[in-house]
Structure 1
Amino acid sequence: MDWLGSRCPLPGYSRTSALICLLILPAAAFLVYPMLRTLSLQLHSAITSTYASGAHSVIFVNCPNEQIARDIARAILEKKLAASVNILPKASSLYFWKGEIEEASEILLLIKTKTSKVPLLSSYIRLVHPFEIPEVFSLAMDQGDVQYLKWLEESMEEGRAREPSCASC
């Protein structure tokens, strides 16, 4: 432990301070990495006018019925947490719940959003979803149509929502 205090380049810092620095800095870097990665992807996209892989994500959420799915989708869009939500009817789900195999008909939401909004969107869904543990997971978009992705980006900005040019988007 003596080597740690003796190698500290800053005068007046004790071994304890140096040890704390060695423990806190890597933890802080780990916590801010997702935000820094997203910002660097956005900066790269803006400078090069190209799409940076991973800047957008698709989130999958199962809902117990169509009305709940519509309510959640509308709320997400109104809060600008996503640009688009597809509601896919009647998915058959089989899963373990409390040690038993369960079977249910569910409605699947496909939510398109910025990757940077995924944590906030996941938290919001947990608040409004009726399931004790809602199914919420995301996949980063590797590639996509540049015009669609630009529309996706613009749609989540305040006051700039507009329709995509095709009905199937």
Structure 2
Amino acid sequence: MDRLDSRCPLPGYARPSILICLLILTACLLTYPVLRTLSLQLLSVVTGSYVSSTYSIVFVNCPNEQIARDIARAILDKKLAASVNILPKASSLYYWNGEIEEATEVLLVGASF
């Protein structure tokens, strides 16, 4: 009986192992969104493919509005984005063949779900 008494906590005190379990459980619940995001990113890197369930915003410059609409419809048909916005008349400056070029383009903005 002496051995059993030495293992039991004092009356009114919770066992230390229960407190440790509660602290670990609380830490896991608080860090779940971060751990989930990191695990999805790791899976994406390992498999070399895009993993949905993460939020993404994509910006695409298109030469004209018709091409932007075609791309937007294809993206939405394949359910790769929740919405696509077409913003006309974006001015773009960029390097091309070692020189600065300027063009007027249509900006396509897509948001995934």
Shorter-chain TM-score: what band?
0.5 to 0.7
Whole-angstrom distance in 2 between the partners of 1:79 and 1:96: 33
The Cα RMSD (Å) is: 2.7
**Partner residue in 2 for 1:62:** 61
Go from structure 1 to structure 2 and tell me whether the alpha carbon gap of 1:88 and 1:34 turns closer, same or farther (over 3 Å shift).
Answer: farther
> Hey, which bits of structure 1, 4+ residues long, moved more than 4 A?
none
Greater share of strand: 2
**CA displacement 1:34-54 (0-9 Å, x = unmatched):** 438x98xx6xxxxxxxxxxxx
**Partner residue in 1 for 2:78:** 79
Identity of aligned residues (%): 68
Larger Rg: 2
Structure 1 unaligned segments of length 5 or more: list them.
1-31, 43-54, 114-152, 154-169
Q: Which amino acid aligns with 2:70?
A: D
Describe the SS at the equivalent of 1:80.
coil
2:42 to 12, 33, 39: 33
Whole-angstrom distance in 2 between the partners of 1:56 and 1:94: 28
Q: How many residue pairs get matched?
A: 70
Any residues of structure 2 matched to 1:125-140 within 5 Å, and which? none
Q: Which amino acid aligns with 1:71?
A: D
**Partner residue in 2 for 1:112:** 111
**Partner residue in 2 for 1:90:** 89
**CA displacement 1:133-165 (0-9 Å, x = unmatched):** xxxxxxxxxxxxxxxxxxxx4xxxxxxxxxxxx
Q: Which amino acid aligns with 1:111?
A: G
Q: Which amino acid aligns with 2:68?
A: A
Describe the SS at the equivalent of 1:68.
helix
Whole-angstrom distance in 1 between the partners of 2:86 and 2:44: 29
Residue 33 of structure 1 and its aligned partner are, at CA, apart by 1.1
Describe the SS at the equivalent of 2:75.
helix
